Structure 1
Amino acid sequence: MQTGLPLKEADKVIIMVHGRGASADSILSLKSHLKVEKAAFFAPQAKNHTWYPFSFLAPVQQNQPYLDEALETLSALVEEIKAEGIPANKIYLLGFSQGACLTLEFAARNASKYGGVIAFTGGLIGEKLNLNNYQGDFNQTPILITTGDPDPHVPVSRVNESAEILKKMNAEVWVEIFKGRPHTIEFKELELANQLLNL
């Protein structure tokens, strides 16, 4: 789905990736909380409302071929946007929960100077992370990762592990952990996202 300005009129393009059981419509509803002008918004829709069937902490093979298909969906969308003359440094990736995990995994496998990456409750994907999958240089791309402590789906340990890998790939990463926060997106996290979007 696409909303906001047409690509040729946009200064920023924000790709929003929904969580398990949700929809493109639901994640696009967040745009009313994002303080960004002259933006185009895109939100792909997962088949059956899930990007891959099992936990992001399961062995990768258990989530195949769905994970590869989901990563290809994001890759095709990014390439389509670039083909319209939008450089990567004007493209922002944003996801929640399963969508946040997919967003981080895609970015780490395709590191470049993006406008920014926002992962509301997410981490890199796999029972054990395969560092050979992560290629490129973020060239100081700002990346925000948030989570609750504890979170029923995303352990803080994986958030921190992911952040360290992204930092080694030359990203400017900041992590915010909210004690006792339920599995949702709180206003404080949206404020942080707005800071990143307006750097």
Structure 2
Amino acid sequence: MYTHEKDIRAYGKPLQESGKALLLVHGRGATAESILMLRQELEVEDFSLVAPQATNHSWYPYSFMAPVSQNQPALDSALDLLHTAVEHCKAEGIKSENIYLLGFSQGACLTAEYAARHAQRFGGLLLFTGGLIGSVIDTEKYQGDFAGTPVLITTGDPDPHVPVSRVDETVQLLEEKGAIVTRKIYKGRPHTILQEELELANQMLRS
């Protein structure tokens, strides 16, 4: 098993100039550079973009629905890397309400898990095909209050990796912790990000 090197890529304006940051978390088998390409579809000219890179191109080895213990120590190490990235943004003067988190697939699962364990008023969460991690959701792990943070969470029906049932469980927990959630389920959608999802993301980024 593995842990993650501290490898965080940046693009766009320096944090001290922009005043707002978008953290992008790639999926299994992908790269920080590949998720950063979403800048071509998103209205992020005024943002600083931050993208951590997973060692071995995977945040954890098994399904996000596996028992948490099976994905250790990689999972805790991945969560620590996200926390390092968020805290770096804060140290550069970015308030949490100006920090947006975006993930796709395995990256969306990691992003949801991180945010729920550190709930606070974020700018927004963009969870493209993901949900909370574990064979069952252990509510004891989740701390804080989202205080009205907007969340977009999506999946296909069916999706080969992320069942609608886990998306629904995730929506319930995020709402209980004070998030305002928009849930979108796309019948027959392949494991990808649709243009409609990007347009919904841009609505959040603009607001």
Question: Which TM bucket (shorter chain)?
Answer: over 0.9
Is 1:142 aligned with 2:150? yes
Is 1:101 aligned with 2:112? no
Q: CA deviation at 1:49?
A: 0.1
Question: Counterpart of 2:6?
Answer: none
Aligned to 2:52, the other structure's residue is in SS state coil
Q: CA deviation at 1:9?
A: 1.1
Equivalent of 1:88 in 92, 96, 105: 96
Instruction: Measure the CA separation in 2 of the matches of 1:65 and 1:171.
Output: 29
Instruction: Measure the CA separation in 2 of the matches of 1:71 and 1:174.
Output: 24
Letter in 1 for 2:155: T
Equivalent of 1:121 in 118, 129, 133: 129
Instruction: Measure the CA separation in 1 of the matches of 2:201 and 2:168.
Output: 18
Equivalent of 2:201 in 185, 193, 197: 193
Question: Counterpart of 2:139?
Answer: 131
Instruction: Measure the CA separation in 1 of the matches of 2:31 and 2:44.
Output: 22
Aligned to 2:125, the other structure's residue is in SS state strand
Aligned to 2:93, the other structure's residue is in SS state coil
Instruction: Measure the CA separation in 1 of the matches of 2:19 and 2:195.
Output: 25
| Residues paired across the two proteins, number | 199
Equivalent pair of 1:60/1:126 in contact (CA under 8 Å) = yes
Q: CA deviation at 1:198?
A: 1.4
Residues 1-199 of structure 1: pairs in structure 2 closer than 5 A = 1-199=9-207
- Measured against aligned partners, the alpha-carbon deviations of 1:141-164 in whole angstroms (never above 9, x if no partner) come to 001101100000000000011000
* TM-score normalized with structure 1 length: 0.99
Structure 2 gaps, min length 5: 1-8
Letter in 2 for 1:53: P
Q: CA deviation at 1:139?
A: 0.3
Structure 1 gaps, min length 5: none
Equivalent pair of 1:148/1:181 in contact (CA under 8 Å) = yes
Report % sequence identity: 60
Flag as ranges the 4+ runs of structure 1 deviating above 6 A.
Answer: none
Instruction: Measure the CA separation in 1 of the matches of 2:16 and 2:73.
Output: 34
* TM-score normalized with structure 2 length: 0.95
Instruction: Measure the CA separation in 1 of the matches of 2:19 and 2:88.
Output: 16
Q: CA deviation at 1:37?
A: 3.5
- Measured against aligned partners, the alpha-carbon deviations of 1:83-108 in whole angstroms (never above 9, x if no partner) come to 11111000000000000000000000
